Structure 1
């Protein structure tokens, strides 16, 4: 299966004002770095990058084509301003064959809607840090919440996908990924009050 490709160009504009001009032209400034290469300043089409980022996110691997030359890379960081809806800068790490890298793999929680009414699902961790060879990179792992109850515990070490020898988990193995607890409203329901039937209530002045 071939990798997805993003096209970029070498960026000669360096410094605050020149970079502003890059953004005005609807390009995102960025950098490609790695242990085996010199840093390369790049710019990438804003529309193309946003389309890729919405589908994959940080930690995705891809082929970055810079002026016709492809490099297998990891999307390492994205600087984004949510108020201005603007991506300021992106970072890619060049991957070398046989060199293990540290990545944070997102956790996707399935069947959240199946958590019973009156219970609260709380996500404690949304990613797990691992060390892995580029050929074994994965974009995310899945945790299924179907049939989960307050007694359900899933730790980092319980994630099936990461039990392969290909992955060295860097987080503490006993780290809890989520909790399910009863809501306060569910716990603090008012007790049933004993109501005296109207005919048994003595009238004022009535002799016992």
Structure 2
């Protein structure tokens, strides 16, 4: 993964008001941590950082120029507005070329399994250790022609050279099971509806019994 270059400004104003002003200018506040140094607070151009993170994926590696000083940084956390979907803030961790880092990478399933099977992705990410400048974007699992009962564990994954698996090798990643027929699904639905109906009737009976007991108790009280 090559580091994408991006220019940044030093951030000098802080607080919610300052952050809102930065975002109104289509810019994004961010911070770079790591290597025992003081955090470096920066401002990134909104459109450029959006594209860089989109192209780089979850572990985007950026070469950030801050006032002429280069910072190699790995994306660690991206805060996104839940409604408007714009980037609110980005946390980076400083890295060095050749340095090993621990990251989670997504698992991509490719290929078509055998007929009447269901491919279940049991774990969508795995943890690996890799060089900061050679982080794999994803690991691929090919299920072409896979039969029912096929299982792919973490230890079966083919990682790029230089990457080491940290996830427990016994963890199930992909499981190929028997696909349920429509008739079977319909039967389960009917059974579930029937059970729900019985529970509803039982609840009604209990309510009726409770009402009768309450009525009897009230009648007894009135006679007293």
TM-score exceeds 0.5: yes
Counterpart-to-counterpart distance in 2, 1:43 and 1:156: 39
Q: 1:156 to 1:189 in 2, by over 3 A?
A: closer
Counterpart-to-counterpart distance in 2, 1:89 and 1:189: 45
Q: 1:183 to 1:16 in 2, by over 3 A?
A: same
Map of 2:132 onto structure 1: 134
Map of 2:169 onto structure 1: 173
Tell me by how many angstroms 1:37 deviates.
2.4
Counterpart-to-counterpart distance in 1, 2:77 and 2:137: 15
- String of CA shifts for 1:9-44, please: whole Å, max 9, x gaps: 111121111111111111111110112422011111
Counterpart-to-counterpart distance in 1, 2:113 and 2:132: 36
Map of 2:92 onto structure 1: 92
Q: 1:33 to 1:144 in 2, by over 3 A?
A: same
Counterpart-to-counterpart distance in 1, 2:83 and 2:110: 30
The normalised TM-score by structure 2 is 0.73
Tell me by how many angstroms 1:119 deviates.
3.1
Map of 2:103 onto structure 1: 103
Q: 1:106 to 1:120 in 2, by over 3 A?
A: same
Map of 1:199 onto structure 2: none
Map of 2:119 onto structure 1: 121
3-state DSSP class of the match of 1:54?
A: helix
Q: How does 1:174-193 map to 2 (within 5 A)?
A: 174-185=170-181, 188=184
Map of 1:205 onto structure 2: none
Contact 2:121 2:173 in 1 (8 A): yes
Provide structure 2 residue ranges, at least 5 long, that are not aligned to the other structure. Answer: 187-224
Map of 1:194 onto structure 2: none
Q: How does 1:33-112 map to 2 (within 5 A)?
A: 33-97=33-97, 99-111=99-111
Counterpart-to-counterpart distance in 2, 1:125 and 1:153: 12
Contact 1:118 1:186 in 2 (8 A): no
Counterpart-to-counterpart distance in 1, 2:133 and 2:56: 17
Contact 2:3 2:133 in 1 (8 A): no
Q: 1:38 to 1:189 in 2, by over 3 A?
A: closer
3-state DSSP class of the match of 1:184?
A: coil
Tell me by how many angstroms 1:187 deviates.
7.0
Counterpart-to-counterpart distance in 2, 1:157 and 1:187: 37
- String of CA shifts for 1:166-191, please: whole Å, max 9, x gaps: 3332211111112222333357289x
Tell me if 1:145 matches 2:128: no
Q: Normalized per residue, which structure has more helix?
A: 2
RMSD of the TM alignment (CA)? 2.4
Which structure's CA Rg is the greater one?
2
